[in-house]
């Protein structure tokens, strides 16, 4: 899943601080997939805590997004090993934390 953190201060002259959590989501998805997206509201039930490494807890906040350039094939960033597109009924069988699966299912129910 593409993601990242909210940049609260400018990284450089060309990379300003994020103006909102939704703006951070849009920036991260562009950086990690090449997709321009419009972030919508928080997904109902899409805020949860993940422990990727024992003793390191991360707050996960998920937003549903609309891809604005769907003709663009997603690209794999240096942050990931694989990239793929999956139908809603395939998500249950994917190797990912259950919190992500719940968020994806909730987004499909909201649509």
The number of helix segments (H) and strand segments (E) in the chain equals: 2, 2
Does residue 1 contact residue 96 with C-beta atoms inside 8 Å? Answer: yes
**Which run of H or of E encompasses 59?**
strand 56-67
- The structural domains of the chain, ordered by start, are 21-110 (3.90.79.10)
DSSP state of 90: G
How far, CA to CA in Å, does 51 sit from each of 91, 98, 104? 20, 12, 19
Predicted TM-score (pTM) of the model is 0.83
On the question of pLDDT at 14 being above 90, the answer is no
How does pLDDT run across 18-70, given as a tens digit for each residue?
889 999 999 999 999 999 999 998 999 899 999 999 999 999 999 999 999 99
58-103, pLDDT tens digit by residue?
A: 999 999 999 999 999 999 888 888 888 999 999 999 999 999 999 9
Task: Find how far residue 46's CA is from the centre of its chain.
Answer: 11
């Amino acid at each position: 899943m593409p993601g990242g953190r909210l940049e609260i201060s400018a990284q450089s002259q060309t990379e300003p601080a994020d103006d909102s959590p939704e703006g951070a989501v849009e920036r991260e998805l562009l950086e990690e997939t090449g997709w321009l997206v419009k972030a919508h509201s928080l997904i109902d039930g899409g805020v949860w805590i993940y422990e990727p490494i024992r003793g390191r807890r991360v707050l996960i906040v998920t937003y549903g997004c609309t891809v604005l350039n769907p003709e663009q094939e997603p690209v794999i960033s240096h942050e990931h090993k694989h990239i793929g597109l999956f139908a809603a009924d395939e998500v249950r069988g994917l190797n990912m934390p259950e919190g992500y699966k719940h968020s994806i299912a909730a987004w499909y129910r909201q649509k």
